[in-house]
Structure 1
């Protein structure tokens, strides 16, 4: 794998990897916020906000997976940076066709998940997987911007409104 440096800085991949390694050393038991077992239920939370507010979504890299053939045709693997300002919202969306891993790099953010009766708080250094029968939305209820990195597989013909 090739690495890029911009203006003498290590690549984003290296920086993120070092940050994850540092987080793991600082708090080896840190795991993404999870729904308490007694709060898990199907259709536990109604859909929330449907439009983005106070959030920037920047695609940092994208790989067309079509060359892999078969079911990969038209799919893309992408890495995005989302910055959610205090009070900002990542709108309600589903992950049945778009798996993702989210790294919370800075700040905190609250997830309102279809399969959990209570909101889930995510903190800097945590990673959460989004896959399968999951729909949710996020809100920054904190006082500082939340910085998230999202690695996802974008299905063919995906509408940008459904890709946050």
Structure 2
């Protein structure tokens, strides 16, 4: 089944995956680190600058009106397109939780807590939170399209938080 994309509208699969409405099905969990490969500081920091990737903020909500600990935070939804050979640089998620949907293509994650790279395929979702630092590279032949929903902490700038 082909989905018609309407400007300003999310594809049905994206809306369902991001939990914008309830469905009877649950998206697949993304590739995970094999249990025998999990280790603290298993992967050294990788690429430090983005390469061959576009990062478009589709929507952002200022959470400050909620008060308290929400002041200065924003909930944002982004679309990232990573070209073959492209890189999403090394970054941490200790202060910025995110859910990532791989909509098209495949992409490889190099995670601080895993001794081996993790392959993510279209249709998978991965949660990023806590003591996680990582970088991503498109080792495939086609662009990888990712949707990222994250909470941007105070004092972070969109350009600084890939």
Under TM normalisation by the shorter chain, which class is it? Answer: 0.7 to 0.9
| Within-5 A mapping of 1:21-36 | 30-36=28-34
Matched ranges for 1:11-160 at <5 A: 11-12=9-10, 14=12, 16-17=14-15, 30-160=28-158
Distance 1:117 1:8 in 2: 41
- Is contact 2:27-2:123 (8 Å) kept? no
Measured on the aligned residues, the alpha-carbon RMSD in Å equals 2.4
Provide structure 2 residue ranges, at least 5 long, that are not aligned to the other structure: 19-23
Tell me by how many angstroms 1:37 deviates: 0.1
Q: Secondary structure at the match of 2:103?
A: strand
Q: 1:18 to 1:65 in 2, by over 3 A?
A: closer
TM-score scaled by structure 2? Answer: 0.87
- Unaligned runs of at least 5 residues, structure 1: 1-6
Mark the CA change 1:63 to 1:10 in structure 2 (over 3 Å): closer, same or farther: closer
Deviations for 1:103-128, whole angstroms, at most 9, x for unmatched residues?
00000000000000000000000000
SS of 1:122 mapped into structure 2: strand
Judging by fraction of residues, say which structure has more helix: 1
Superposed CA deviations along residues 11-61 of structure 1, whole A, max 9, x for unmatched, are 2164523688xxx97xx7842100000000000000000000000000000
**Offset of residue 96 of structure 1:** 0.1
Displacement after TM superposition at 1:159 (Å): 3.9
Alignment TM-score, normalising by the size of structure 1: 0.86
